[in-house]
A and B are shown apart, each in its own frame.
Chain A
């Protein structure tokens, strides 16, 4: 795989890339914006971050804050321990959400975030791990939070993370016969022609392919490894 670049600079002629672009606002991110009308106290967890730092030291990489929300970047290999610690010691017993983000950068391309809630303390915390394209393995947290099961399957389906020790590594939404991971940035919005068959037109006929995506020139762009296809198919 070639190094992915900023998608906007990649190939301006490419029809897939012709999004209308605006001047990005260059205002620096406000450091402490408690004036955000929608910010709440529930997302500020300084004492939890202190406890994490004390317990795990260098594994807590970074702390970010936007709109009064704390995001803790932690080391990928220790995410399971950190979750166990948060659940046992800091009473974050309710698992809310997990998902992936494709940043489309050369290194640390992906991120996985974990959204945890402590009902007792009325706090929310968001953990993030950075995942490199070369090594898509992420330790699964299902043994700590049982509810993470389907969310991890979904992240695997959409981004292709490999959750180590996941009890049920199947796709969540797409059928297993599908070869791609659609939420990656290089996956075309209209899909890859021929990747999903349509039913036959007669009760005992052959499968058909959707003519739509191909007619609109939808092709996988750049840096995307074609899955091994059978030359006889289609």
Chain B
């Protein structure tokens, strides 16, 4: 397991809670297949016998948003459908991730027409985009691995999901993603920059220069 220090021959091991949680989360993603169009058929191929998403712990497709934590938007999304997708997304419990599968979901693709939303990132926070029309199941597997990589580098306990200023400033993607997974630096809680103090006239005078912030 990434980040652990071995079992020491005594039947236990030590690791960070973050790493442990991320390890568990990343290998048991439950996709919510938002199958809209042709990509949905390739998504079935991704779950099917030849490509076998079970190797990555993601074979349990959950059609109920409450039970899922990874939404795969597969296919073009019309304006009429977009509201339904957003409602399903809102019903999914945190933490959750989103894959825009295929050209249509990513950018509107070949359907540059009045009925199609030009990319689901207009209303959804997309984590991974997959190119292709439709992408082969291998690409979906790759995207799944990207999501796993991303999850392994998230703060799941220390800072994430806090309310207030610290929560707002929590980086979605830490700077040192290229390092070994689980080897995250400790977030600099003391050096956090907070809201700009209400300095009244001083702050309003020159908005172009960076406002001095309290350390």
**In the complex, A touching B (Cβ < 8 A):** yes
Interface residues of A (CB under 8 A from B): 173-175, 182, 187-192, 196-201, 203, 208, 210-213
Are B117 and A190 in contact, CB atoms less than 8 angstroms apart?
Answer: no
Are B82 and A182 in contact, CB atoms less than 8 angstroms apart?
Answer: no
Chain B, 82-93, contact with A by CB distance < 8 Å: what is the 0/1 string?
A: 110111001000
Interface residues of B (CB under 8 A from A): 79-80, 82-83, 85-87, 90, 108, 112-115, 117-118, 122-123
Are B114 and A189 in contact, CB atoms less than 8 angstroms apart?
Answer: yes
Q: Contacts A210-B122, A212-B118; is A198 near B79 (CB within 8 Å)?
A: yes
Closest approach, in angstroms, between the C-beta of B153 and any C-beta of chain A? 25
Determine which of A175, A182, A210 lies in contact with B80 in the assembled complex, contact meaning CB atoms within 8 Å. Answer: A175
Residues of A within 8 A of B108 (CB): 212
Q: Contacts A175-B80, A203-B90, A212-B118; is A198 near B123 (CB within 8 Å)?
A: yes
Are A174 and B80 in contact, CB atoms less than 8 angstroms apart?
Answer: yes
**CA distance in complex: A88, B85 (Å):** 47
Closest approach, in angstroms, between the C-beta of A215 and any C-beta of chain B? 10
Residues of B within 8 A of A175 (CB): 79-80
Closest approach, in angstroms, between the C-beta of B162 and any C-beta of chain A? 17
Determine which of B86, B113, B118 lies in contact with A199 in the assembled complex, contact meaning CB atoms within 8 Å. Answer: B86
Closest to B87 in A: A199
**CA distance in complex: A217, B71 (Å):** 33
Residues of A within 8 A of B83 (CB): 199
Closest approach, in angstroms, between the C-beta of B65 and any C-beta of chain A? 13
Closest approach, in angstroms, between the C-beta of B126 and any C-beta of chain A? 12
**CA distance in complex: A203, B114 (Å):** 25
